[in-house]
Structures are given as C-alpha cells and as structure tokens.
Amino acid sequence: MSPATYFYFDQPYEPDFEERGLYWATRCLNSRTAFSFVPNHLYWNRGRTQDGGEMTDEILCTGGCPPLTQPQNIRGIQADLWTETIRTPQHLHYMLFPRFLAFAERAWHKASWEDLTDVAQRDKEQQKDWERFAAIVGKGELERLESEGVEYRLDPPGARFSNSILEINTVFPGLPTEYSLNQGASWEKYNPKITTKLSNASKILVRSSSFDGKRKSRVVSVENSN
C-alpha cells in the first residue's frame, strides 16, 4: 500500500515555487504528513479538500466508502520516489530524507494513538508523539545521516520577533540555525540561550545549517513589526 499523498516522495516538501517536486498528487508532502498516516484505518487519512474544507465520505467516495473486507491482502506500506526529474545523488538524498525516517516510523512501529476513534484526542496524542520523534531525529539521526554522507533536506526555520527579541525554531529541534542583519553579507550562529536584541533591525534573514556547516537551507525573511 503506497498512497501518493503520503508516500510518493517526488512531491515537494512545501508549497513553495523554490521547492523541487511534482504536484500531480498533492501540493506538498512533508515529514509531518508522512508521520501522520494511519495504516490500519485507511479512510482516516482522507486529508482535506483542495480549498481546505473537510473531506467527507461523500466527497471521497461516490456512493459511500466501502469497508476493507480483506485486510490480509495488504502486506505492508511502501514509499516511492520516481526519479525522472532527479539527476544527482544529492537531489535523491534531498527528496528522500528526512521524510523517509517518518515513513519508517509508521512502517515499523504502531503508535498508541493510531486506533483512537476520538479525532481530537487522536490529534493531540499524535502531536505529542511527533514532538518526541522530531526531537530524536533532530538531536541524533540527522547528524548520523550527515556522518554517512547523506545530504538530507534542511527545513527552513521558523522565526519571529517577540518584543524585539529574535526567536528561531526548527522542525527538528537541535538543527543549527543562523541569522543575518545585512541581507546575507555575513551570518551569525543563533543561540537561544543568548538574548538577541534587534530593536533597530527592520528585516532579518534566517536559515538552518547542517551540523558541519557546509550546507544551508533556503533563506527566510523575517520582518520586525515591534
């Protein structure tokens, strides 16, 4: 079983024109999406409509969604990466990792939240499990991949100003981040333990970095509206 909207890794990570990938199945497919798949309850993975609305049984299946009567026919789940647009090993690594780790988590481990019928409770427990998983990846697995020569994708960081203090976080905690006060002419390492007063800066650029400092993510621009 290999649903394209969760495990076809030729789709882009984010809905951004700078992201590589095809859009035939979904607008984006990130690590969090792959992690959220529920293998034993297929219709729970219905997602939302293209305009962001609720995907109902009536919309998803003409005439209603039939039950799965022979689950034994599904031997497992599979991730796919079609390579007609991939020309280098680096691009291959980028499209596979780190979201392939999220796929592996669902393939090899059944979480306690997967059978919860209460949607709100399931979402809450899934979010807690994602935070646990993301911390393990960010504080260990990414650096291990790096040591083995895997050029995984670096997720751009999230950033904001709070009372003129720059706050930066990453999808996977522990990934190094940097900021620039001069439109990228020079960069400084971000340290959340050091309060950075930037009251005079109107715009700052931020990016994440590999642990060895050789690779960088896409740059994100942050406006200071305080």
Q: What is the pLDDT of residue 136?
A: 97
216 three-class SS: strand
- Is a pLDDT exceeding 90 seen at residue 224? no
Q: What is the pLDDT of residue 52?
A: 65
Within-domain flag for 174: yes
Q: What percent of the chain has a predicted confidence (pLDDT) above 70?
A: 95
- Is a pLDDT exceeding 80 seen at residue 200? no
Q: Provide the number of structural domains found in the chain.
A: 2
Which tokens belong to 157? Answer: 């960081």
Domain that holds residue 175: 158-223
Contact 125, 112 (CB under 8 A): yes
Q: Which DSSP helix (H) or strand (E) runs through 203?
A: strand 203-208
- Is a pLDDT exceeding 80 seen at residue 226? no
- Is a pLDDT exceeding 70 seen at residue 46? yes
Do 167 and 94 fall within a single domain? Answer: no
What number is the average pLDDT over the span 93-119?
96
Q: What is the pLDDT of residue 50?
A: 65
Within-domain flag for 36: yes
Which tokens belong to 109? Answer: 């481990």
Q: What is the pLDDT of residue 190?
A: 92
SS3 content of the chain, % helix, strand, coil (to 5): 30, 15, 55
- Is a pLDDT exceeding 90 seen at residue 225? no
Taking the CB of residue 148, how many other CB atoms lie within 10 A of it? 7
Write down which residue in 92, 125, 147 finishes a domain: 147
pLDDT in tens, 115-156: 999 989 999 999 999 999 999 999 999 999 999 999 999 999
Nearest to residue 176, comparing CAs of 139, 221, 210?
210
Contact 224, 202 (CB under 8 A): yes
Four-residue CA torsion sign, 173, 176, 180, 183: negative
Nearest to residue 213, comparing CAs of 185, 175, 180?
175
Q: What is the pLDDT of residue 156?
A: 96
Do 172 and 60 fall within a single domain? Answer: no
How far is CA 137 from its chain centroid?
12
Do 101 and 202 fall within a single domain? Answer: no
Using pLDDT thresholds of 50, 70 and 90, give the confidence band for residue 212: very high
Do 117 and 166 fall within a single domain? Answer: no
Residues facing residue 161 across a β-bridge: 166
Rounded Cα distance between 193 and 177, Å, is: 13
Do 138 and 173 fall within a single domain? Answer: no
Q: Which DSSP helix (H) or strand (E) runs through 189?
A: strand 188-189
Mean pLDDT of the chain: 90
Q: What are phi and psi of 142, to 5 degrees?
A: -65, -45
Q: What is the pLDDT of residue 57?
A: 79
Q: What is the pLDDT of residue 161?
A: 85
Do 169 and 194 fall within a single domain? Answer: yes
Q: What is the pLDDT of residue 59?
A: 82
What number is the average pLDDT over the span 52-62?
77
Q: What is the pLDDT of residue 199?
A: 64
Scanning the structure block, which residue is given the tokens 């592996």? 104
